[in-house]
Chains A and B, each alone.
Chain A
Amino acid sequence: MSSFTEEQIRRYSRHIILPEVGGKGQRKILETKVLIIGAGGLGSPIGLYLAAAGIGRIGIIDGDVVDLSNLQRQVFHHTSDLSRPKVESAKAKMLAINPDIEVATYNERLSSKNVMSIFSEYDIIVDGTDNFPTKFLINDAAIFANKPLVHGGILRFDGQVMTIIPNQSTCYRCIFHNPPPTGLVPSCQEAGVLGVLAGVIGTIQATEVLKLAVGKGRLLSNRLLTYNALRSKFREVKLHRNPKCAVCGEKPTIKELIDYEQPVCAI
């Protein structure tokens, strides 16, 4: 405990008092570097809670600015942040909660060009993106970089979470193979989403990150947790790695990162 300041001992006392975390676990949390992809609905609760928990270095990537229609669920951003780059707004809120951490911002889109160099700076990757091309890019890059990835998705009243341990557990591509054809799955504004769903799913993703950091508990790997808000129902789907998976299967055919065409959003 000697390596903590007085202030840290008080700030993190409710963690330190948990036998499963303790001073040792909190130290690990402070030493963990986490990349959050997307400063939107999922990224907001993930970032706010991980900052509060004392994740030592948080990276956040997003190339968008705050829009009025974001505020219904993207709790990083306040009304006074309209038109501000999302990563700047996100950084300010995380540091306001906890000035004890470092926040790195990337005001850009993730692509095959920058993903590996950004991933190399972090221990854990968290997916808070909306679009499927990026979800597949993140999955493949996490497999190549051998970094644990916490996947999350929300749509209307449903959400899903899964933790991917590369080459040990089921990956996103094991399940979903390829991005859906553009326009078929509503991934944009037109589908709608109950705002609080981002909080439910994002905080479960943040929980997975803390379990990974501390090394305790049973991860959501090889199981997809789904939640339906209308029925208040959680379900767990048991999964197995897909031997035919194009990126982590027995004979992988994907050896380079792919920039799938981004769907064009109406409006």
Chain B
Amino acid sequence: MQVKINGKQEDVNVKNILELLKARNVEPEMVSVELNSQILDRKDYAATSIKEGDTIEFLYFMGGGVAKEAV
């Protein structure tokens, strides 16, 4: 089915968010997922099914410029 992932139209063959993350080799703990403008709870990834036309955003944890944990 066709869904939009991070702005790109893609054809996916998975049932839920957890399967999608696994298919794309994304560790569920290192990303937040927004489905149709709603941030999902991490514990709901397996229970959240994906439908044709869904808009999905992966939001990644990103650190900063400090080299060590100094702050």
Contacts and interface: CB of A to CB of B under 8 A. Distances in A.
A184 B65 contact: no
A198 B65 contact: yes
Given A174-B39, A239-B34, A62 B71 contact: yes
A181 B39 contact: no
B47 interface: no
A44 B7 CA distance: 31
Given A177-B32, A244-B41, A154 B65 contact: yes
A178 B65 CA distance: 20
B66 A64 contact: yes
Interface of B: 6-7, 27, 29-30, 32, 34, 37-39, 41-42, 57, 59-71
Contact of B66 (A40, A155, A160, A177): A40
Interface residues on A, range: 35 or more
Given A40-B65, A134-B69, A191-B63, 20 more contacts: A37-B71, A38-B66, A39-B66, A40-B67, A42-B64, A64-B71, A109-B71, A127-B64, A130-B69, A135-B63, A153-B61, A155-B61, A155-B62, A176-B32, A180-B30, A180-B61, A185-B61, A235-B6, A244-B41, A262-B69
A263 B66 CA distance: 14
Contact of A153 (B6, B42, B63): B63
Given A131-B69, A134-B71, A174-B39, A41 B34 contact: no
Nearest to B62: A153
B69 to A, nearest CB: 5
Contacts, number: 141
Contacts of A175: 32, 34, 39, 59
A258 B40 CA distance: 23
Interface string A226-247: 0000000001011110101000
A67 interface: yes
The list of the 9 closest CB pairs from A to B, nearest first, reads: A41-B65, A153-B62, A64-B70, A40-B66, A40-B65, A187-B63, A42-B65, A130-B63, A130-B66
Could you say which of B27, B29, B64 has the most chain A C-beta atoms within 10 Å of its C-beta? B64
B59 A152 contact: no
A153 B39 CA distance: 19
Nearest to A267: B68
Interface of A: 37-44, 61-64, 67, 69-70, 73-74, 86, 109-110, 127-132, 134-135, 152-155, 158-160, 174-177, 180-181, 184-185, 187-189, 191, 193, 198, 202, 224, 235, 237-240, 242, 244, 262-263, 265
Nearest to B42: A177
Contacts of B27: 184
Contact of B70 (A42, A63, A135, A240): A63
B29 A237 contact: no
A238 B57 CA distance: 10
B67 to A, nearest CB: 5
